[in-house]
Chain A
Amino acid sequence: MRHERRIQVGPVGFRIGSDWAAPLAALDRLYAGYPEPAIADFTVRLEAPRPWRRWLRPKVHIGGDYMLPDAAPLSLAHGLLAAEMGMNLQMALGQRRYLLLHASGVEKGGRALLMTGLSGAGKSTLAALLGECGWRLLGDEFALVDCDSGALHPFPRAVSLKNAAVDLFDDVDPGRLGPLLADTPKGTIRHLRPNDDAIARMEETAMPALLLFPRFGHAAEIREVGQGEAFVRLTQASTNYVALEERGFEALARLIRTVPVRAVDYPDTESAVEAVERLCEDLA
């Protein structure tokens, strides 16, 4: 393809090709300092749906090794988002080496905290906030569980801040922020590059010590979650649990049986950070 950029994130290498220069230039700035893989695990393509679409009201079609047949194209102004979605799609549909959980993760002192829940539950924002105050960000979107050891492999992609969460990161180094993307299908989005520590240590695994199901916008409450319920919710949060067969089964069962599990409701982000830190001290 006309333009190409390679990015290594944790154990996964991406090759991103594009019909236009702009999306890859934005990707370059956002992923400054990331290694480049010699051999890519996955290929992402940002393509013009029709040849003339490259110039006339350009639309970006997200292609690659793995695709959704009905994925709607994005406007070229949102090309960076298209690249991010393309990488997510490869992981969600193609990852077979690690058990992939739709979960965020942070680590301190070798002990990892996993957070999972429905979209909008705040797991991504929470992980990003913790990543700015003494925790190491492992990933805001996907947690990669090693089926043999149970360890988490960091996957510190750029954090996708949405809508109100964008304002919470006003005071970070502006060089770590991507462009403000308004009116995307998901609202306003701005990407945040994890801090240098998270990138430098992207090959350093961590053992899970606590699993949380956070929920934003509810009165503060902490509940225990039964193992059966936790197991079911994690299978629903995994895109490759079924494909990994018995390895995935054993990995998930071990996780559920070895770490405490809690559901955490919280009214706002400040109290959430506090509550989570306290829980970690008590349980992890």
Chain B
Amino acid sequence: MTAAIYIADPPDTRRLIALDGVALIFHRLSGQTHIVAPPAPEILDALGEGEADAETLLARLRRDHEIADEEGLSEALDARLAELEAAGLVRRA
């Protein structure tokens, strides 16, 4: 089975407001508000370069952010992607 490819809608479909420690995202397509913590906004930014599978996405995140090499990093990324997909902020190609 090939890895899932993820797509995020362009940034102008979202209004992001940073509060202390969390970010509010108003998603214009659904009219829904999401309250997210890092790294969700960073994932959406990284997908802004174009659709990607999880591995490519992780490479983009490493390039732009300081990420420690921890156990379970890719599992954590998969979990965040699943949350973003359920919220409708990310979809599969």
Q: How many residues of B contact A (CB 8 A)?
A: 13
* Complex-state Cα separation, A246 to B12, whole angstroms: 13
The total number of A-B Cβ pairs within 8 Å is 35
Taking a contact as CB atoms under 8 Å apart, the answer to whether A249 and B33 are in contact is: yes
**A256 in contact with B33 given A231-B24, A246-B28 (CB within 8 Å):** no
Q: Does the CB pair B26–A246 fall under 8 Å?
A: yes
Annotate B23-58 by CB proximity to A: 1 below 8 A, 0 otherwise.
010101001110100000000000000000000000
Inter-chain contact B21/A228, CB cutoff 8 Å? yes
Asked whether B20 lies within 8 Å of A226 as measured between CB atoms, the reply is: yes
CB-nearest residue of chain B relative to A242?
B31
Query: Which residue of A has the minimal Cβ distance to B25?
Result: A249
The size of the chain A interface, using a CB distance under 8 A, is 14
Q: Does chain A have a CB within 8 A of B86?
A: no
Measured CB to CB, the closest approach of chain B to A208, in angstroms, equals 17
Supposing A235-B33, A249-B33 touch, asked if A228 and B19 sit within 8 A by C-beta, the answer is yes
Q: What's the nearest-Cβ distance from chain A to residue B78, in Å?
A: 25
On chain B, the residues within 8 Å of A227 by CB distance are 19-20, 22
Q: Which residues of A contact B93 (CB under 8 A)?
A: none
Complex Cα distance, B33 from A232, in Å, reads 10
Residues of B within 8 A of A253 (CB): 17, 19, 24
Considering the chains assembled together, what is the distance between the CA atoms of A27 and B29 in angstroms? 45
Given contacts A246-B15, A249-B24, contact A232 B31 (CB under 8 A): no
**A50 located at the interface, meaning its Cβ lies under 8 Å from any Cβ of chain B in the complex:** no
* A228:B31 contact, CB within 8 angstroms: no
The answer to whether B26 touches A228, judged by C-beta atoms less than 8 angstroms apart, is no
Residues of A close to B32: CB separation below 8 A: 242
Within A226-242, the residues touching B (CB, 8 Å) are 226-228, 231-232, 235, 242
| Cβ contacts under 8 Å, B24 to chain A | 228, 231, 249, 253
Cross-chain contact A249 with B19 (CB below 8 angstroms)? no
Contacts of A170 in B (CB 8 A): none
Given contacts A232-B35, A242-B31, A246-B15, 20 further A-B contacts (CB under 8 A): A226-B19, A226-B20, A227-B19, A227-B20, A227-B22, A228-B19, A228-B20, A228-B22, A228-B24, A228-B35, A231-B19, A231-B24, A235-B33, A242-B32, A246-B26, A246-B31, A249-B24, A253-B17, A253-B24, A257-B19
Chain B residues proximal to chain A, CB less than 8 Å: 15, 17, 19-22, 24, 26, 28, 31-33, 35
A interface residues (Cβ-Cβ under 8 A, vs B):
226-228, 231-232, 235, 242, 245-246, 249-250, 253, 256-257
Q: What 4 pairs between A and B have smallest CB-CB spacing?
A: A227-B19, A228-B22, A249-B26, A245-B31
